[in-house]
Amino acid sequence: MKPSKSTAWSALLLTVTLVVQGCNQEKGKVPTSDTYKNPDNVAGRVPGTDPKTTEMGVDDMLQGTNMVFRDNLPSAFKTRFVPVVTTYLAMKDAFVADNAQEVDKQANQMTQLLQQTPDTLLGGEAAAFWKEKKGFLMTHLKLYKAAEKDQAKRLSFVFLSTVMVKTVKAFGYGPQKLYVDYCPMANEKKGAYWLSQTMEIRNPYLGRKMPTCGEVKQEI
């Protein structure tokens, strides 16, 4: 016996209500012990890399790093770095729109831009910091490309965003202010951050399912 239309609509409404309540209940709560783990790697790390930087705690994200180099950046580095961030933002927007083809395009573009931004443009601690973060960005872009399912690709973007938040906090982003957004439901309900160019929440991890789930945590 087929269920009536009214019964089906009631079930759908209940499902949507529970999902929205879950987002609202979790809003504002930041995990303190969970860690990001690579969805394409059972060990939670990439062979040959430092697990302390491949597996990042969520609780220290906003404190991030004490490294701040934005006031003394060479113009040659700024010229190369700003397009990297801009491409990341375009990749984020493509995730929001559930446009897989555009996400792939921006991921390839970001990879090329990173390859064209050498460590030699900086010196001292700034150079060491960039070399490390650039390495992690390249690693997670490769993992994104290797992922086959959409969920795995979005989880790879969690790790990419984690590194981008720390990197932009250190080097800044000249064209405009950026915002650090947080969604408690992303990353299998462990929570995840991302960068946005507006205060309007447009969630790249949940896409059109829950596009406004999240909140602004910090302004850069």
Contact 184, 156 (CB under 8 A): no
Residues 55-107 pLDDT 10s: 344 445 555 456 789 888 999 999 999 999 999 999 999 999 999 999 999 99
Mean pLDDT for 171-186 is: 92
| Total-model pTM | 0.73
pLDDT of residue 67: 76
Burial class (CB in 10 A: 0-12, 13-18, 19+), 98: middle
The values of phi and psi at residue 140, to 5°, are -75, -25
Domain boundaries, the chain: 71-175
- Residue 35 pairs in a beta bridge with 57
42 vs 138 pLDDT, higher one: 138
With bands split at pLDDT 50, 70 and 90, how would you rate the model's confidence at 28? very low
Residues 13-22 pLDDT 10s: 344 344 334 4
Q: Is 21 helix (H, G, I), strand (E, B) or coil?
A: helix
Terminal Cα-to-Cα distance of the chain (whole angstroms): 57
CA dihedral 57, 48, 148, 15 (to 10 degrees): -20
